[in-house]
Structure 1
């Protein structure tokens, strides 16, 4: 039996002991961090920094082909630049082929720059001449993959591009403040938090003005800036178009990871649904009207509104009978493509093999089969045949997003599903990826089921589990909106315009938990903790075998068991798959300047320099009277991950993407819930595992602050 695991949906980070926080004193690194941050400031307008203006005017790709390790990449980009790129000010989406090819070409130009100086000069040139969305995306992907920018912290995307994270009334209020009140010292209400010397805007979620469907009551989860930032950064580290010869993801088990990330997103969403009285994520049929409408409440920087999908949308009629232009616009055929690609995927799973583009047969029910299937469904460069099995998710996003068909390739109106920053806002996202996860389950149903012996750890017994009282609440979160408004050169230089959003976000009280384990000898073990439902929305008990896909990986760590009794104590800040709120753009920049000037220090947090699910969403909301969930703990023998044999953990601040360093052990993703178990009692009768029932209580923040004891 083969074992391969990566951590949960949240960033797949390794142990904190292996990747501690790093206090950076290296001047070269600090200067690079400062220079990179400046590239992200007010990205929707030309940069006014004097060195940026000079470099943009003097640097010429045409005269510097030999500055790139692959000169042909620079020549190609110069050709398409002269031919005509997506103009500045136009909407960019990675899910439009013409846009994506320009972004890939720019990424390669960045990635193959011979040294940091060339990379930086190229980035500054592109900052002034290339479409803002293309530049932002290609630059971000290049930074997290280039060896000489390893460790550089990307600023929060919701502060770089607030338009995709805050409703249009928030952005409009920021515009109004800039126009009406700039020049006055502090507008009324501007000093509500600490010593902030700017204007604060209260931000609501969609549904504040228009609510199309009851499921919009979950908008505090689906539209959370941290959750959507997590999904964006995950796709920056693992773009669906990157791999193969350009970048080696072999050690990361990229295809299998693709499945597990989406399965975990759906499981976490389902836990939140239960707290709000909703049940299973809906399924849909392409021939039946799509029930769940969506009103994004977002607008693009150029003023274009995000498309809206009505309730009971007729997908087949929308693309066939409503005057869409066909011609060479392949997205008009999305309705046909999604059904063709899904049929081919089903046939491959049922037959048990796929064919490469050259006609070579690949067995799906082999050691690497799940990884092959994941690459195939994602349609990444490691897919056996990207053309035949197709980019299902690309066409499904066009179809379900109800986006308008473009008049030409440069005038597009993408839906929320057609941006990583906004995908999770739309309920259709979860309904579509439920279909994807069920295809994987169709595959896994043919794998051998786990037996009691597969789960058993001889000589180890989990005697008890204890959790503190679990309480959630909403608290205020502040986010800088300054990049949403346009500034003059003087305003940019002195950072005079300060405006921010204040929004309620879910959080939880800190808590600890203990796991009591008996071991007959000293040995290395690995501990997994899952959180899942115990009852459905009607209060009916869930059989674990039926319910296993609804468990979220809560914690996962290596532990040295001693002979006899072991008391493993953990707290809510030790689950390394979760990330604290990102440092704001302004504070990040000030920390770097302070470290360069000797007036402070800059610390690279192992989570913040990578990516992760928001720690504040560690628990589902629960209810006032307490919603009952259950934890599952299993202790297993530690099996080192084979792909880390040549990896030097001490050399890096955090796991290097593509290295496999984020693997904690060598078990399957989601073990032991990754495969069916025919007899439910196997879970309960395994001595090295334990079920613990706990209620999650929801309280008002004022009640939390006023109380010193238990909440009743």
Structure 2
């Protein structure tokens, strides 16, 4: 197969002495170096004048149709990354840049480069350029734009016009603007880069896998409510797979096929030599249901393993923390592969895989959310078995949250961009606007224009009273959920979107207002280090190398023209008790992405306090019983398309 050929060619190359390449100059410092950060751009951007003087046979081999959802492929690419990471820094860059120039649009090469650079001791802390800039054909419809010299004019598919002119033929297209946002694709792609399934699992990786995708669903359902669509319905073995997949989808991407509406799930499909059978996946799901009912999993030796959200998440994703792959299978990854190959399950017609095959295209497809809703029903079975939170689990003696409100900051930050000059608290404005982005396809540097959602900058303002005689180090947990006519807290629990989580100190015997800017949120990806910034040496410590985190323009739901009502909720707890260690910090995009090679900083269950049932009928009852919490109704107003 292609992988076997590729492996032996690379093995032969390993024993070949690397040429002394005058095109690469790398000092390999032990600390982050802006010049070295510039040097690695050769790994991600094709040189249009490249002469292939570093040519080796390995680069002529056709690369596999790569997906992170196939364990065999993942083991091969990570083994290759280990080999590259052991090279001298200059050799690493030379090999990867050769691969990029031979295969400029390869998702395999981009993934391999990111893994290898992260593993190498001299490059692991460097800022890597966004994948939307380096492999733009995986993010944008490059065929629909008009070229003029080196300037690419026009807009990629998914402009968001569906939010201005409603689409009736296929209502799901009214959310193309959200699903096709490049920042959303970047987040999902980078999360799976830094939480691979074939390496030793990181701290609470399984739980984070469950929580991050649960939050994607909560945010997507809020957007569906805003355009008048019902919540996502699960689609998986035993729940929908016996019928048809009503949603079709055309990503208009070179690397993906489209899927017509009303397709049926095949009886089987194959990837390489492995066969994926839905009936076996259903059996594995039933085994997990039995395990949840018994509150334990069985390892390969028949030993009982206590069931936790982390163990269940690892087993569902079938990463190296899986308790028993033979018994419980590879449910999550196999679902992605099977749904992506629904057009050509036997590979009889050489049809390209659908969006579900790739982590940077999967979130574009409506079936991604239906599949993950199915996956989440399994996690929900466990959540429903967890002991409900008691009042004492939530309260903190001596701390009272007097009030919470939101204040718009845009009038201060950028007056010309405001829609409304009145200063209103508890009202947020969103709008859509064209946004230019420079990308680097194989033909050279070009600029595209894509219409994206935006919101005005705001602050959470929380008035806190500390009646204790000593200072209190507190963690502020901020959530938002669309208001509903049914205020039953148990039915609304999964609607709560995490907006922020941060730490502050309130002096003993004082009362003060704690303010936190929305652009400082713990769920947001730090400002991206673009190719241009790397070239200009403008990289700062605030730009995380991993690129994982929620898109900064999608922090809050779009809302409606008339104004969507939502409940803002904040719970304040003791950080000295909740911190995983004395050095734990809630900095960066920690909520959905954790800390690379560190403990997840918050010991509480992810999503706390909405991670399980609580003994309250309504949110108001909860606030009344927990004085260190507070809620406020806010309004989100969508102002339409802004030119």
Conserved in 2, the CA contact under 8 Å of 1:460 and 1:519?
yes
2:165 equivalent to 1:216: no
CA contact 1:207–1:216 (8 Å) conserved in 2: no
Matching residue of 1:353: 296
CA distance in 2, matches of 1:632, 1:218: 26
Q: 2:464 aligned to 483, 499, 517, which one?
A: 517
Structure-2 residue corresponding to 1:123 = 96
Deviation at 1:646, TM superposition (A): 7.8
C-alpha displacement of 1:307: 2.8
Distance 1:86 1:99, change over 3 A: farther
Aligned residue among 393, 397, 406 for 2:332: 393
Alignment partner for residue 257 of structure 1, among 205, 208, 212?
Answer: 208
Q: For 1:327 and 1:199, how far apart are their aligned partners in 2? A: 37
Q: Partner of 2:528 in structure 1?
A: 582
SS in 1 for 2:244: coil
Report matched runs for 1:616-695 at 5 Å: 616-639=553-576, 644=581, 657-660=596-599, 663=601, 665-680=602-617, 681-695=621-635
Write the mapping of 1:34-49 to structure 2, written as runs, cut at 5 A: 34-42=38-46, 48-49=49-50
Q: Which residue among 466, 479, 482 is the counterpart of 2:405?
A: 466
Contact 2:189 2:360 in 1 (8 A): yes
Cα shift at 1:618: 1.2
RMSD of the TM alignment (CA)? 3.3
Trace 1:4-15 onto structure 2 (pairs within 5 A). none
* C-alpha distance in structure 2 between counterparts of 1:502 and 1:685, whole Å: 50
- State whether residues 186 and 547 of structure 2, in contact with CA within 8 Å, keep that contact through their aligned partners in structure 1: no
* Alpha-carbon distance in 1 for matches of 2:137, 2:543: 28
Q: How far has the Cα of 1:128 moved from its partner?
A: 5.8
Q: Secondary structure at the match of 1:232?
A: helix
* 1:479 partnered with 2:437: yes
Query: Cα gap change, 1:673/1:683 in structure 2, threshold over 3 Å: closer, same or farther?
Result: farther
Q: Is the 8 A contact 1:47 1:127 kept in 2?
A: no
Does residue 121 of structure 2 align to residue 153 of structure 1?
no
Residue 615 of structure 1 is matched in structure 2 by 552
Give me the TM-score of the superposition, normalised by structure 2. Answer: 0.82
Contact conserved, 1:212 with 1:293, CA < 8 A, in 2?
Answer: no
List aligned pairs for 1:339-378, cutoff 5 A: 339-364=282-307, 369-378=308-317
CA contact (8 A) 2:45 2:100 kept: no
- 1:609 and 1:338 mapped to 2: Cα distance? 33
Contact persistence 1:211–1:295 (CA under 8 A) = no
The structure 1 segments of at least 4 consecutive aligned residues displaced by more than 6 Å after TM superposition are 25-28, 206-212, 646-650
User: Displacement, 1:464?
Assistant: 0.9
Partner of 2:254: 299
Contact 1:624 1:698 in 2 (8 A): yes
Higher relative contact order (CA 8 A, sep 6+): 1
Counterpart of 2:155? 202
Distance 1:700 1:233 in 2: 30
CA distance, structure 1, for counterparts of residue 369 and residue 288 of structure 2? 19
* Alignment length (residue pairs): 576
Residue in structure 1 matched with residue 62 of structure 2 by the alignment: 87
**Compared with structure 1, are the counterparts of its residues 38 and 114 closer, same or farther at alpha carbon in structure 2 (3 Å cutoff)?**
closer
1:63-462 aligned at under 5 Å gives the runs 87-88=62-63, 91-96=65-70, 99-111=73-85, 113=86, 115-124=88-97, 126-127=99-100, 132-167=106-141, 170-173=142-145, 177=147, 181-182=148-149, 198-205=151-158, 213-243=170-200, 249=202, 252-284=203-235, 285-300=240-255, 306-315=256-265, 318-319=266-267, 329-331=273-275, 333-364=276-307, 369-401=308-340, 402-405=342-345, 407=347, 413-462=352-401
Structure 2 spans left out of the alignment, 5+ residues: 1-28, 408-426
Confirm or deny: 8 A CA contact 1:525 1:558 kept in the other structure: yes
For the 8 Å contact 1:405–1:412, the answer to whether it is kept is no
Contact 2:45 2:440 in 1 (8 A): no
SS at match of 2:498: strand
2:26 aligns to what? none
1:230 is displaced (CA, Å) by: 0.7
Q: 1:486-635 to 2 correspondence within 5 Å?
A: 486=443, 497-521=444-468, 522-535=471-484, 540-562=485-507, 563-579=509-525, 582-585=528-531, 587-592=532-537, 601-607=538-544, 609-635=546-572
Give the whole-Å Cα distance in 2 for the aligned partners of 1:642 and 1:575.
18
Rounded to whole Å, the distance in 2 between the matches of 1:327 and 1:513 is 48
**Residues 291 and 312, structure 1, Cα contact 8 Å, conserved in 2:** yes
* 1:96 Cα offset (Å): 4.2
Contact 1:639–1:667, Cα closer than 8 Å, also in 2: no
Distance change in 2, residues 1:161/1:253 (3 Å):
same
Alpha carbons 1:107, 1:138 under 8 Å: kept = yes
SS state of the match for residue 613, structure 2? coil
Cross-structure match for 1:12: none
TM-score scaled by length of structure 1 = 0.74
